[in-house]
Amino acid sequence: MAGKWLIGRKVVTLLRAGPGRQVLVAEAVVSLLAASITSRMIPFRRLARRLGEFVSPDDVRVTASETLSSKQRQCIQTIGWAVRSAAPWMPFRAVCLQQAMAAHAMLRRRGIASVMHFGAHRNEGEELGAHAWLDAGGLRVTGYPVSPGMAELGCFV
């Protein structure tokens, strides 16, 4: 019964969000689906070419923050909200990589540059864990918060 209440509340929230945000959530759903299919069907070395240039985390293109208009800042924040909101409702597990890829594509369609970060850490069982997160213009988009034990390996710019 609690699940139906939660779904109903989410539907009401989406209906109240207005047509602009509803369209953005629909775009996020399609982008997450495309990212999921792409990440499962294409070997990562080929997929990487589509994501941009892989650089060190201390590369000037990663650390430099471009000046954004208030409209661009709002767009970045709204896209992050749409992707993060849609991800739990997908009929597949939309993990950090798919969320970062979806938001990256949505921002690129709007001419806004973003940086996709990749990191790794050791889990308690000494297994290697990986994580992807995205930021744009110094704003956090997806994948945050990043675990303090995460070692950043590189970024796509």
Residue 9 located in a structural domain: no
pLDDT tier for residue 67 given thresholds of 50, 70 and 90? confident
- The 3-class secondary structure across the chain, one letter per residue, is CHHHHHHHHHHHHHHHCCHHHHHHHHHHHHHHHHHHHHHHHCCHHHHHHHHCCEECCCCHHHHCCCCCCHHHHHHHHHHHHHHHHHHHHCCCCCCHHHHHHHHHHHHHHCCCCCEEEEEEEECCCCCEEEEEEEEECCEEEECCCCCCCCEEEEEEC
Residue 72 located in a structural domain: yes
Query: Residue 105: is its pLDDT beyond 90?
Result: yes
Residue 1 located in a structural domain: no
Greater model confidence, 24 or 17: 24
Q: How many domains does the chain have?
A: 1
Greater model confidence, 65 or 4: 65
CA–CA dist 62, 57 (Å, integer): 6
Greater model confidence, 132 or 1: 132
CA–CA dist 80, 8 (Å, integer): 22
Residue 11 located in a structural domain: no
Residues of the chain above pLDDT 70, percent = 90
Domain with 127 in it: 18-156
Residue 135 located in a structural domain: yes
Residue 38 located in a structural domain: yes
Residue 81 located in a structural domain: yes
pLDDT per position as a tens digit, 111-145? 999 999 999 998 777 788 899 999 999 999 999 99
**pLDDT of 101:** 98
Residue 47 located in a structural domain: yes
Greater model confidence, 110 or 18: 110
